Structure 1
Amino acid sequence: MANHHRPVVDVDLRSRENNLAHRTREIDGERLIVRRGHPFSIAVQGSDSLPPEHHLELVLHLGKRDEVVIKLQGERGAGNRWWFNQQGAQDELLLTLHSPADAAIGQYRLAVLVMSPDGQMVAKKDGISFHLLFNPWCKGDAVHLPDESLLPEYIMNEDGLIYTGTWDHISSTPWNYGQFEDFVMDVCFEVLDNSEDALKNSKMDVERRSDPVYVSRTITAMVNANGDRGVLAGRWQPPYSDGVAPHRWTGSVPILREWSQAGTRAVRYGQCWVFAAVACTVLRCLGIPTRLITNFSSAHDVDGNLSIDFLQNFESTDKQDSSWNFHCWVESWMRRDDLPEGNDGWQVLDPTPQERSDGEFRCGPCPVTAIKEGNLGVKYDAAFIFAEVNADIIYWRVRADGRREKISVDQRSVGRNISTKSVYGDVREDVTLLYKHPEGSEKEREVYEKAGRRVTEPTNGSAEPGRLRLRVKHARPVFGTDFDVITEVENEGGEDAQVQLTLLAMAVTYNSLHRGECQRQMINVTVPAQRAYKKVLRLHYEDYAKCISEHHLIRVKALAEAQGEDDPIMAVADILLSMPELLIQLPGKAVVWQQVTAHISFTNPLPAPLKGGVFTVEGAGLLSAAQIHVDGDISPGQQVSVSLSFSPLRTGVRKLLVDFDSDRLRDVKGVATLVVRKKARNHIPVITGFD
C-alpha cells in the first residue's frame, strides 16, 4: 500500500525572474542560469503542507559523474560556502540559495530532501539542474570589473569589430560573437569538458573551474586544435577546399556549433583573428570580461633573442622569425591571486597556435602591466608577448665570403597602433600605451634594459648617418585597378651619387608569407647632390592578380647601394588594396518574430568576370548563418542583387553581417544595423466616465 501521507515535492526554479536578475535572460528564458556570488530563489511545493517538525536538506552535485558533492548549510556559516535560507509563503516555501563568489562554474544538479525529525528521508526531488557562471558584477569574484559601465560591451555585446590591415591603413571587419545564441553556452562547457586536464582527471578539473586563470588558460589551448580535441584547425595558405577559408567566417557561432555537432572534430580553418574571436565568444559567454586586441607590425620571435632577422636579399634568415602586418589576441579582466601584487586587470590570452606553453599550444594569461614594465619572468609567456610588441627588426647583408654584416636596426616598427573596439560604439580605441611607455622615453629605455634588450645601437650600421634617404610612396589603391608606387632616392650630400636601385613588388599574406613576385627591377642612376630621384613602378591588375593573397597585400621593397658607401639602405612599404562596398538595405520596421527582407547588392569592380559567387549572411538574435549562391558569372561592372527574408528572434540593436566570395574576389564584407522592437500589444479600449 502506498503511504498517502508522503508529501510529493515539486520545485519551481523561477528561471525567468532569476535569469533577469542575473543578466542571463539573453542566454535562455526556460533554463535556470545564474552568476556566482549573487543569491537566487526557488519555490518548493508539497502536495500536502509539510509538517512543521520536518526540515529540508539541499545537496548539490557537480561534474559528469557527480565528482563533487556539496551539502548546503541551513544558515550563513563561516567562510565562503554555499548556504540557503527559507521562508514560508501560502502553500509553498521560498528557498534563497547563496553561492560563494569563488564557486566552480558549471552545470549543477540539485536534490531537495524532506527529512523527518528522526533523520529519515520522507521525500526527495532530484534531477533539478542549473548552470552557474562567473560574475563580473560581484565584488568578491576574481573577474569583478570595478567600472560596471564597461560590462555592456565586454560581457553583453554580441557584435564586434576586428581591426585588420596595416598599421598605416587600418580597416575594420564586423564580427558576430553570438555568445547568447541558442546552445552556445552548452558548447562552451563542452569545450572545457574536452580539455586534456578534464580528460585526465575530471574531479580535479571540476574543482579548478572556480579559477578564471585556469579556465581562460584551458580555453586558450582548446580554441586551436593543435594536440588536443580543440575547436579550430589553422591554415595560413590555400588550398582551403576541404573546409572554409578563414576570411569567409563572419561569426563564431557556426564554428562552435559545427565542432560540437561533428563530435568535437576540428573545424577547418582559422587564422589569428578567427581564433581570437572564438575565444572572445567563449570567455564572454562564461562571464569573463573580454575584448579583442589587434597588434599591428607584430613580431613572432621564435628563438627568444628579441629580434627579427632579415637578409638584405629580401629573404628571412630564420624561416621561423617573422613580422606580421597584424596579429590578434584577446584580453580578459581578472585578479591574479597566483602572482605578486600589481598584476591584476587585463590579461593577454592568445589562442593562435604559435609556441607551446607547458607542453600545449596556448599563450597566457599574462598581465598587460608585466609587458609594459618588462617583467618577463611573470607567468604565463611574458617574454614571447613582450617580443610581439617590442622586438627589433635587423637587416643583414651577406658578404662574398659568407660573413654577415648588419645593415640596419629598426627599433620602432614593431608593436604599433595596438587597437580594440571602443565601449562607446563602432570606433577604434588605441591601447598602445597600456603595453609600452612612449617611444624613445627614459622609461622605455629602462624597461628594455630590464628585459635584457640592447638599447644603444645606432639605427644604421655605421655611426655616421649616410647621405642617401630612401622612401616608398603610394596612394590607397583599389583592388582591381592598376596603380603607381613611387620610390624616391634623396641625396643630402655635396657630391653626385652613383646608385644601384633594386625594386621588388611581391604579394604577401598578412603574416608575411610570400605568395609570389609581381615585379622586380634593377637600375643604375645618378642622383645629383642635394636633389632627389623618383622612380615610378606601375603595377597592373593582371600581374598582381596571379599571385595576390586573400589579404590583398602587396609588399614593395627598395634597396639603394651607392658607390663608395659601405652600407646599402632599405625601405619597405606594405600596400593594402581597398575592397569594394556591399550595399545592404532593410526597408520598414523590424519587429520580433515578424518577417523582414534584406536586399543585398554588389557591383563587380574587376576587369574580369567573377565565378562561383556566394553571399553568407548571419546575425546574433536575427538568423543562423545562411548562404545564397549567385547563378552564373558576374561580368565586369555588372551589379548583382539578392534578397533574403528572416524573422528576428530577439529584440534590441542587432547587426546583420554579409560576406561575398568568388573565385577572383574574396572577403568583401558589409554590415547593417537594425533595431528589433517588441510586438505591439493589442489595443484594449479604456472606458471612462464611471465613478
Structure 2
Amino acid sequence: MANHNGVIIGMDMRSHENNRAHRTEEIDRERLIVRRGQPFSLTMQCSDSVPPKHHLALVLHLGKKEQVVVKVQPEQGDGAKWWFHQQRAQDEVLLTLHSPVDAPIGQYRLAVLLMSSSGHIVERTGDHKFFLLFNPWCKGDAVYLSDESLLHEYIMNENGIIYTGSWNYIRNLPWNFGQFEDNIVDICLEILDHSNAALNDADMDISNRSDPAYVSRIVTGMVNSNDDHGVLAGRWEEPYTDGVSPTKWTGSVPILQQWSKGRAKSVKFGQCWVFAGVACTVLRCLGIPTRCITNFSSAHDVHGNLSLDVYLNEDLERIRGDGRDDSSWNFHCWVESWMNREDLPVGNDGWQVLDPTPQERSEGVYCCGPCPVKAIKEGELGMKYDAPFVYAEVNADIIHWIVKRDGQKQQTRVDQTSVGRNISTKSVYGDYREDVTHLYKYPEGSKKEREVNEKAGHRVNGVALAEPGRLQLSIKRAQAIFGTDFDVIVEVKNAGSQETKAQLTLLSTAVTYNSVHRGECQRRTVSVTVPTQTAHKEVLRLRYAHYAACVSEHHVLRVVALLQAPGQNKPVLEEANIPLIMPELHVQVPGKVIQHEEATAYISFRNPLPITLKGGVFTVEGAGLLSAREIPVIDHIAPGQEVKINMSFKPRRTGMTKLMVDFDSDKLKDVKGVATLVVHRRKYNIHMYY
C-alpha cells in the first residue's frame, strides 16, 4: 500500500483497455494480462504534483522468490530491455510500459518508486500484479504467426476436434480446450512452477521462460505425471474405478481444475488424446499457437531400429517380452506448436512436434519434443528433440514373425506402407479434417521418399523382402456397428499354376487402440482347396454375444488370418483392425441463445444394444457456457429405449461455442454428442426522459 501522506495515492491498471488491446479480455477483464513486445498503459493517481528534482522509477519482480528483478528504464530502449515513458496531467501520471519481445513469461509484480534527486526512495507503492504471455501477433516474438485466421484457430478457439478411430474409420471427438475459462491462466503458470526444473533451479527456470522451446518442453513433461507433480496419470486398461475413464473426458478444464485443487496431485486417468488436449489448452493459454495432431497407424518403436517386430506363436497369440515391446497403435495424438528454433540450424522453424503422452524417456524425462516437422520430412534425425522416435511413428516398417514351438522364428509379413496414414488436424476454416501427411513425409514409393529413408538409415533389419507367393490373403468386412452381428470375409487367392490345398486359421480378438490384447472372441481352422487363378472366400461371422464380453472401451476388434500350405516356403499372414461404429447422442439448443439468460439443451439417446444398460450418466460441459456437470439416469435403459433429458444453463460469454455431451454406462461407453451455438449479447432497454 502507498503511504497515504505521500504523493502517490493509487494505481489504475487499466485492465479493460489493455486486455482488449492485447487480445486477452476473454481470459480476464479485471486482472491485467498482457503480451510481450506490446506496450500497455497504467494510470497513477497523485495527491499533488511530483516535487521538483524528484523522479519516478519502476521495478518488476518475477518468480515466487523474486528471482528476477528488473529495473524499468525511464527512456526509450532498443527493445532488448523494459522501458517506460510518462505523461503528466494535473493529479495523474500515465505510465506506458514497453516489454522486450523475449521477456520471460509469468506473473510479474510492479512497484512504483518516487526517488529524490540524491537517489533515495521517498515513497514506494505496493506491488501491482500482472501476467505477461507470449505474443504471436508481435513480429519479433519467437512464436510470431502472420496469418490472422491461423491465430484465431490456434490461440483464440476454445473448441476443437480431436480425431480418433482408425485410418479407414476416422471419428470426430469434440474437445473443449477452455483456455479462457476462469483461473486457467493461473493453473498453467502453476504447472510451470511445479516442474522439476523450477523446483531444482528456480533462477535458471525463470530466465528460460523467455524461450517457447523450453516452455513447451516443460509443458509436455508436466502434462503427464510419470516423473513429477504432473497433471495426468495414464492408464491404458480397465478398471478405472479409482479415477475417471479416459473416454469420459470431454475437455481439459475439469482436469486442470482438479489438479490445482488437489495441490498438484495427478488426475486419473488419461490416454493420448487426453494428454494432447490438455497440452493444447496450456500452450494456447500461454500464447503459443498450438494444434492437435492425430497419426493413424502410429508406430511405437521401443528399440529405435525404425521397425516394429511383432511375434506370434503358432496359435496366433502375441508373444510379449519384458514389457518393452514394439507396438502399432490404431491412432496416436500429439500436438504441434508454432515457433522459431533459434537453437537449431536454419530451416527448422515452424511447426514443432510435442508429445505429452509418456511413452519413452527423453534426456531422462517422459516428454517428447519440440521436434521440427520439417526435420522429420527430410529425415534429419540429428535434430533435437527426439527426431528418431517421431520419425519412426510415421515411417516404421512392421515385420510379423511366427515363433514355432522349438523357438525358431519365421518371417511371415513385412509391411512398409501402413504406418503413418491420414495424419490429421482440425481445419482452420471449420469443423473439417485437414490431412497434413504431406508435411511429415513424401509420397509412399516416390524417389524423394527413398532418398529420405536412406538418409535416415531406414532398414528392415537386414531382412530381404520376399516376392509375393502364389497364395495371397486379404480381409474384407461389412460395416461393423457396435451391438450387431456382422461378417468378415477372408479371401484366399491362388496366383499359381496348380491347384493348392492349405490350412486357414482365423482368429478374432478384442484389442485396445494401442494394441493391448483384451481377449479372444472366435477361432476357426479350416482346410481349403483353391484352384489355380481363382479365389476362395471364407466367411467369419462376428457375433455381439461373443465380442461383447471382452471388447475394450475403444471398441476395436482384430482379425488375423494365417494360411499354411505344403510346399509354400513360409506361412502367409494378414491382419485387420476393425473399428466398431458407435451410436451418437442428439443434442439441440433451440431458439436464440442470450448471454446471462437461461437456455435449455435437449439431449436424447436410444440404446442400440440388445441388452439393458445400467448406471447411465450424461456429462455436459461447454466453454463459456457451463462447467462440467454430471446428470445420472435414474432408471435402467432397455434395448431400443430412448432417454430424453432437458438441461438449463446460463451462458457466460458471447460468441460461437459448443455444448459437448458424453454418455457412459456399464456396457456402453464413450458415446458423444455436440451442439454448436452462437451466444448473443444481451440488449438493454434504454428509456429516454425529456
What range is the shorter-chain TM-score in?
A: over 0.9
Q: How does 1:623-634 map to 2 (within 5 A)?
A: 623-634=626-637
Query: Matches of 2:40 and 2:680 in 1, distance apart?
Result: 29
In 2: Cα distance, 1:456 partner to 1:223 partner: 35
Change (3 A) 1:126 1:437: same
Q: Kindly indicate whether the alpha-carbon contact (under 8 Å) linking 2:306 and 2:459 is maintained by their aligned counterparts in 1.
A: no
Q: Is 1:335 matched with 2:340?
A: yes
SS of residue matched to 2:402? strand
- Counterparts of 2:571 and 2:367, CA distance in 1: 40
Q: Work out the CA distance in 2 between the residues paired with 1:420 and 1:136.
A: 20
Q: CA deviation at 1:258?
A: 0.2
Partners of 1:316 and 1:178 in 2: how far apart?
43
Post-superposition Cα deviations, 1:378-407, rounded to whole Å, max 9, x if no partner, equal 111111111111111011233564332322
Check the 8 A contact 1:36/1:133 in 2, yes or no: yes
Aligned twin of 2:607:
604
> Which residue matches 2:95?
95
- Map residues 11-50 of structure 1 onto 2, 5 A cutoff: 11-50=11-50
Residue of structure 2 in register with 1:558 after alignment: 561
The answer to whether residue 378 in structure 2 is matched with residue 347 in structure 1 is: no
The aligned counterpart of 1:356 is 361
- Confirm or deny: 8 A CA contact 1:476 1:576 kept in the other structure: no
Over aligned residues, Cα RMSD in angstroms?
Answer: 1.7
In structure 1, C-alpha distance between the alignment counterparts of 2:544 and 2:309, rounded to whole Å: 32
Question: 3-state SS of the aligned residue for 1:360?
Answer: coil
Q: Report the residue type matching 2:23 in the other structure.
A: R
Closer, same or farther in 2 for the Cα pair 1:469/1:9, shift >3 Å? same
Whole-Å separation in 1 of the counterparts to 2:77 and 2:586? 61
C-alpha displacement of 1:584: 1.1
Displacement after TM superposition at 1:270 (Å): 0.2
- State which of 492, 509, 513 in structure 2 corresponds to 1:510: 513
SS of match in other structure, 1:244: coil
Q: Which amino acid aligns with 1:275?
A: F
Q: Which runs of 5+ in 1 are unaligned?
A: none
Counterpart in the other structure of 1:419: 424
Cα pair distance change 1:353/1:485, threshold 3 Å? same
Task: Note closer, same or farther for the CA distance 1:608–1:131 as it changes in structure 2 (3 Å cut).
Answer: same
8 Å Cα contact 1:58-1:71 kept in structure 2:
yes
The CA distance in 2 between the partners of 1:116 and 1:400, in whole Å, is: 90
The corresponding residue for 2:652 is: 649
The CA deviation at 1:546 is 0.2
**Contact in 1 for aligned 2:307/2:460 (Cα 8 Å):** no
Whether contact under 8 Å (1:445, 1:455) holds in the other structure is: no
- Deviations 1:444-496, CA, capped at 9 Å, x for gaps: 1111111111279898x534x31222111112221111111111111122211
Equivalent in the alignment of 1:462? 466
- Quote the offset at 1:191 in angstroms: 0.2
Question: 1:496 touches 1:527 (CA, 8 Å); kept in 2?
Answer: yes
| 1:86 match | 86
Q: Is the 8 A contact 1:27 1:185 kept in 2?
A: yes
Once residues 401 and 556 of structure 1 are traced to their aligned partners in structure 2, the CA distance between those partners, rounded to angstroms, is: 26
Does 1:188 find its partner at 2:192? no
Secondary structure class of the residue paired with 1:386 = helix
Q: Aligned runs of 1:202-221 on 2, under 5 Å? A: 202-221=202-221
**Aligned in 2, Cα 1:70/1:419: closer, same or farther, shift over 3 Å?**
same
What does the per-residue CA deviation read over 1:204-256, in whole Å, with 9 as the maximum and x for residues that have no partner?
11111101111001011000000200000000001100000000000000000
Please name the residue that 2:621 is paired with. Answer: 618
Q: Secondary structure at the match of 1:512?
A: coil
State whether residues 49 and 90 of structure 2, in contact with CA within 8 Å, keep that contact through their aligned partners in structure 1. no
Partner of 1:398: 403
Q: 1:432 aligns with which of 437, 446, 449?
A: 437
Match for 2:476 among 473, 476, 483? 473
C-alpha separation in 1, matches of 2:52 and 2:609: 82
Letter of the aligned partner of 2:551 in structure 1? I
**Residue matched to 1:290:** 290
The one-letter code sitting in structure 2 at the alignment partner of 1:551 is: H
| Partner Cα separation in structure 2 for residue 536 and residue 458 of structure 1 | 33
Q: Say whether residues 1:373 and 2:406 are aligned partners.
A: no
Q: Deviations over 1:503-532 (max 9, x none)?
A: 011100000001001101110010111211
What are the superposed Cα offsets for residues 416-448 of structure 1, whole Å, 9 maximum, x if unpaired? 100000101100000001111110011111111
Residue in structure 1 matched with residue 495 of structure 2 by the alignment:
492
Select which of 521, 535, 539 maps to 1:536.
539
Aligned partners of 1:62, 1:617: CA distance in 2, in Å?
38
Q: 1:307–1:17: structure 2 CA closer, same or farther, 3 Å change rule? A: same
Partners in 1 of 2:613 and 2:378 — Cα distance? 51
* Structure-2 change in CA distance of 1:477 and 1:508 (3 Å): same
Matching residue of 2:276: 276
Q: Post-superposition shift, 1:618?
A: 0.3
Match of 2:672 in 1: 669
Q: Distance in 1 between matches of 2:153 and 2:220?
A: 21
Instruction: Flag structure 2 segments of 5+ consecutive residues without an equivalent.
Output: none
Q: CA deviation at 1:100?
A: 0.1
* 2:453 corresponds to which of 423, 426, 448: 448
Query: So what's the TM-score if we normalise by structure 2?
Result: 0.97
Identify if the C-alpha distance between structure 1 residues 5 and 595 changes in structure 2 by more than 3 Å, giving closer, same or farther: closer
Contact 1:449 1:455 in 2 (8 A): no
Distance in 2 (alpha carbons) for counterparts of 1:638 and 1:209: 55
Q: 1:589 aligns with which of 588, 592, 607?
A: 592
- Equivalent-residue separation in structure 2 for 1:339 and 1:305 (angstroms): 24
Provide the secondary structure at the position in 2 that maps to 1:449: helix
Residue aligning to 1:111: 111
Asked if the contact 2:410–2:570 (Cα under 8 Å) also holds between the matched residues in 1, the reply is no
In structure 2, what residue type is equivalent to 1:522? T
Deviates more, 1:80-89 or 1:104-113: 80-89
Q: Secondary structure at the match of 1:523?
A: strand
Q: Distance in 1 between matches of 2:8 and 2:148?
A: 43
How far the C-alpha of 1:567 sits from its partner, in A, is: 2.2
**Aligned-partner Cα distance in 1 for 2:460–2:486:** 39
Structure-1 separation of matches of 2:556 and 2:460:
32
| Distance in 1 separating the partners of 2:4 and 2:527 | 106
Q: Matched residues in 2 for 1:201 and 1:317: separation?
A: 41
- Is 1:526 the counterpart of 2:529 in the alignment? yes
Deviates more, 1:308-317 or 1:537-546: 308-317
Q: Which moved more, 1:562-571 or 1:471-480?
A: 562-571
Secondary structure of the structure 2 residue equivalent to 1:419: strand
Structure 2 residue aligned with 1:637: 640
Matches within 5 A, 1:186-265: 186-265=186-265
Q: Distance in 1 between matches of 2:274 and 2:405?
A: 44
**1:537-568 deviation line (CA, Å, top 9, x unaligned):** 11111110000000011111111122221122
Structure 2 CA distance for aligned equivalents of residues 576 and 6 of structure 1: 73
Q: What is the SS of the residue equivalent to 2:127?
A: strand
Please report how far the alpha carbon of residue 686 of structure 1 lies from its aligned counterpart in structure 2 after TM superposition.
9.5
Counterpart code for 1:478: I
User: How far, CA to CA, are the matches of 1:97 and 1:228 in structure 2?
Assistant: 37
Q: Which amino acid aligns with 1:339?
A: L
Query: Are the structure 2 counterparts of residues 527 and 644 from structure 1 closer, same or farther at C-alpha, using a change threshold of 3 Å?
Result: same
Work out the percentage of aligned pairs sharing the same amino acid. 65
State whether residues 177 and 253 of structure 1, in contact with CA within 8 Å, keep that contact through their aligned partners in structure 2: yes
Contact 1:9-1:124 at 8 Å conserved across structures: no
Distance in 1, matches of 2:268 and 2:559, equals 32
Contact kept, 8 Å, 1:9 with 1:123, in 2: the verdict is no
